[in-house]
Each structure stands twice: as C-alpha cells, then as structure tokens.
Amino acid sequence: MSDIKFSKSQIVKLEGLTTDVGVLSSMTDLLCQNGLVKDTYKQAILDREKVFPTGLYTGNINVAIPHADVEHVNEASICVGILDKPVKFHAMDEPDNSIDISLVIMLALKEAHGHIDMLTKVIGLIQDQEAVKEIIESNSQDIIYNIIEKYLLQE
C-alpha cells in the first residue's frame, strides 16, 4: 500500500459547499486535474454514493469515505477534504438518514482488495477522534499531512 500517491496538494479546505454532490465534485475534480483518476471517476463516485452512501457517524466528528471502482483510477491516491461547515451525507449504515460530515477521505485505489486494507486504516484514524479534531482544526498542511501519513500510509 506504500505506492499510494498523497501530497499536501491533495489536502483541500472546502469552503462554502452545501451539498455532498458539491463536495464530491470538488474533490474528484482535483484528482482528475492531477491525472490520478480518469474522467469517469466523478460520475462513478456520484453514482456509487447514491446506492452505497459513505457517511460514517462517529458520535463526534463524522467522516465520509467515498470511493469508486478501480477501473476509474490511474494512480492509487487519497484526497482529504476538510469542510468549513458540516455537509449532509447519507449514512453508510442507515442510508435513509443524513448526517453532518466534516471530513471526507476519498480513496482512489488500483486494487480491489486494497479498499478493505485502506478502510481498516481509515477506521483506525476515525477512532482517534483527537487526531480527527486536529485535522479539522489545523491550519497547517504539514500537521494534517503527518497525521494522514501516520494512519493511512505506513505499513
């Protein structure tokens, strides 16, 4: 999993967005502009979110973990979206319910089994709500990058 492309440019503060579609579109556009995903990735993410929502209620700072099938990905990568105000996403475990999301960790992976490994790492991060809070509140891309690297990119 160490071949996942992640740089500080893939950490985005998203301001003024009010819908999950707006958040997902902004993040997929960034990945597409950097050549990390194919132009089909955005629609694949949006379509998948309708059927398999990715909002995860943590009891504190809620997170969404959108991803799409591997055929839409050029290079394995992660994009982290930090929302200035929570945005409603449908809940993963109760799709009829919406929850306020403050952090989006978008996965663009090249291997199908890689999603399970990476989701396990993401759950580890989410369970450390102090780390999530630091990501949300920090104005330092270095700090955010280091937290993401510690939880998601180390073997």
Name the phi and psi angles at 6, rounded to 5: -150, 125
Domain parsing of the chain, residue ranges: 8-153
Q: What is the pLDDT of residues 71-102, one digit of tens each?
A: 999 999 999 999 999 999 999 999 999 999 99
Per-residue pLDDT averaged across 107-115, rounded?
84
User: What is the percent of the chain with per-residue pLDDT over 90, rounded to a whole number?
Assistant: 86
Q: Which residue has the tokens 């950490």?
A: 11
CA distances (Å), 35 to each of 32, 47, 125, 152, in order?
5, 21, 27, 21
Q: What is the pLDDT of residue 2?
A: 53
CATH class of 8-153: alpha beta
Per-residue pLDDT averaged across 24-38, rounded?
97
> Rounded CA gap, 46 and 42, in Å?
6
Cα angle value 40/42/44 (rounded, 5°): 70
Global pTM reads: 0.95
